[in-house]
Chains A and B, each alone.
Chain A
């Protein structure tokens, strides 16, 4: 057994210290109890690091239209394609898995190739945290530890379980300490709340803005608390109780998180949370998995360009395509040459060239966490057959990094304008509204398949199902059969599914956020019907990791 390798976990921005031991055959997790941020604790994502390294579905040979090819052939192809296309016909997209240095180099490369088509394809709602309200301070670990009042908008505990440890310690330190939770779903986090404001799916910003106006009317002038509270379906009494807690002079903090399928206006959700932080003079943290700046082109515009046939070559680098965003595959039909990078073997139907990359855990990088800058060292040697991103980038050019766009600063008045516009827009209405929940990392069967749909008891009676029945959920884009899970986490008329697995994500059509023009994955109207399927005896639904 060799000495454990130590690094900072790359799966989210909490910056937990973690490591693996290698015994010559397989990697095992090691927990460093002296790590400052996490004291050896790891969340489900962090615990899966060794599984990523040893995973049997790692891609270790380039694929061309689903068939194995070689690196020299791949290089020849890419260079040939590059010579064929004009700069405006080439698009570069980056998503999760690329660090700040990679993004800087991509920006430099786009400038060198003279292509305007550089976009961030990370369409998770958490990208909404790129919008930062002027004058709001970033929370530190000390702020969380000393917090006596907390506002958690969205499922912060689920997004960052290790960070929740300090929040819980703060919550239980004194009986007078208070927690306010705003969410459309009665999450487990809500169980820790003193005031839980349950809102209609996708309307969190309106409740948050009402809260900001109640705390300090000067921060949110002109906000009609009654109208916004009604839009969100929140009671004024609860909002006033929450405002009394958050408006006190005691130290506290505001945390916000967003899940795919739960948030309608990500930027407004983030900004409204920040406005509450500003009204209550509290520091703020947006809990998310990664931090990627927007490119000079909006991804939604790039998608349109692909659909109209204006893009002939697409280079998509990052861990999400073609896995999490398989619904985008039809857009690439009109693109002649598609080059993407992957860590795992994609579906054989994925067309174009797929290049095997070294995983985040197999390379050194520098970056930023919620709590400061971090350096990551490799946990393992790169897998045979994979190549570092920098070598592939060399095929396109030798550009140096030219700086990265910073987050978008927004003034409070702009937030209120956005809110007014959002209030005037039509909200999805239907008998059944589907929302998403991101429970843990969806790592190729590492966790249970997300084959359940959460239904409240009243709805279950109305449809005539029990926990042993199956429901067919049909959205505009896909339909899928789920086993019923009866819970009071969701209100009547709302269904909830996990949004880690791609087949569930496909149920949510990508919608354009009218406020920012960015893509998002929002609550969607669906149709449901009971199916005749019944589970077979003796645990058909037990998951087995294979």
Chain B
């Protein structure tokens, strides 16, 4: 399955990902920014977990994981807006605010052949849509340069 991954070193916190998502879904961005530190503003999107707690928490089984694509989807038609998914999500990426009495959930832009809009629009290429295996093969921390805002690293 393909996943959205973030190349930390390239994120400039411009929120283009959020803007692209908002411009498509009009009412609410399904990928949101979160401040990891006061300097790092990183996009937080749905991880499409192997065992999604949001799906387990949904009292009406509105959220379902597609076993073929791995995408965790929510049916807007049947959602009653109980916020159980938002409370259950361990990553806090489902916003608790309701739009049209529904919670908002990333679908990896299943309506689009070219992949998620947030990835396509990322100005620096920090967001990438890659196969899980491709990501697994990468060594943790490889190509990662420590960003310093103190201006002390003069080599």
Contact = CB atoms under 8 A, between A and B. Distances in A.
Contact of A195 (B23, B125, B154): B154
B96 A157 contact: no
B28 A544 contact: yes
A51 B22 CA distance: 9
Contacts of A489: 38-39
Interface in B79-101: 95-97, 99
A387 to B, nearest CB: 27
Interface string B1-19: 0000000011011111011
Given A29-B117, A41-B123, A446-B22, A189 B12 contact: yes
B154 A188 contact: no
B14 A161 contact: yes
Given A29-B23, A43-B16, A545-B22, A186 B96 contact: no
A172 B145 CA distance: 8
A158 B14 CA distance: 7
A544 B23 contact: no
B23 A164 contact: no
Contacts of A488: 38-39
Report the interface size class on chain A. Answer: 35 or more
A173 B34 CA distance: 28
Most B CB contacts (10 A, CB to CB) among A44, A196, A447 go to A44
Given A195-B154, A487-B38, A44 B27 contact: no
B20 A188 contact: no
Contact of B123 (A43, A50, A439, A545): A43
A238 B152 CA distance: 9
A153 interface: no
A168 B12 contact: yes
Interface string A433-461: 00000011000001100000000000000
A281 to B, nearest CB: 22
B34 to A, nearest CB: 13
A536 interface: no
Interface string B121-153: 111110000000000000000010101111101
B12 A188 contact: yes
Given A31-B114, A161-B16, A164-B12, A190 B149 contact: yes
Interface string B43-68: 00000000000000000000000000
B78 interface: no
Contacts of A47: 16, 19-20, 22-23, 121
Interface string B103-115: 0000000000010
A545 B28 contact: yes
A408 B117 CA distance: 42
Most buried by A among B16, B23, B28, B154: B23
B102 interface: no
A538 interface: yes
Contact of B99 (A38, A198, A487, A544): A544
A539 B10 CA distance: 30
A50 B23 contact: yes
A40 interface: yes
A193 interface: yes
A190 B22 CA distance: 28
A191 interface: yes
A28 B16 contact: no
A238 B151 contact: yes
Contact of A539 (B23, B97, B147, B148): B97
A113 interface: no
A191 B39 contact: yes
B120 to A, nearest CB: 5
Interface string B23-46: 110111000000000111100000
Interface in A23-43: 28-29, 31, 33, 38, 40-43
A29 B20 contact: yes
Contacts of A168: 9-10, 12, 124
A21 B96 CA distance: 31
A48 B12 CA distance: 19
Interface in A107-121: none
A306 to B, nearest CB: 37
A218 interface: no
B10 to A, nearest CB: 6
Nearest to A238: B151
Given A165-B125, A195-B154, A196-B150, A44 B14 contact: yes
Contact of A542 (B27, B38, B96, B148): B96
Contacts of A538: 96
B15 to A, nearest CB: 6
A188 B9 CA distance: 11
Interface string A485-511: 011110000000000000000000000
Contact of A196 (B19, B114, B151): B151
A44 B97 CA distance: 22
A168 B145 CA distance: 12
Nearest to A192: B147
B12 A44 contact: no
Given A44-B15, A188-B13, A161 B123 contact: yes
B87 to A, nearest CB: 11
Most buried by A among B9, B13, B40: B13
A28 to B, nearest CB: 6
A184 B120 CA distance: 32
A544 B28 CA distance: 6
Interface of B: 9-10, 12-16, 18-20, 22-24, 26-28, 38-41, 95-97, 99, 114, 117, 120-125, 143, 145, 147-151, 153-155
17 contacts: A28-B23, A31-B121, A41-B120, A41-B121, A41-B122, A46-B121, A47-B20, A50-B23, A51-B23, A164-B124, A165-B123, A188-B39, A440-B14, A487-B38, A538-B96, A539-B97, A544-B97
Q: Give me the 3 closest cross-chain CB pairs, A-B, nearest first.
A: A196-B151, A44-B19, A161-B14
Given A440-B15, A488-B38, 9 more contacts: A31-B121, A43-B19, A164-B123, A168-B10, A172-B145, A191-B40, A489-B39, A544-B27, A544-B28
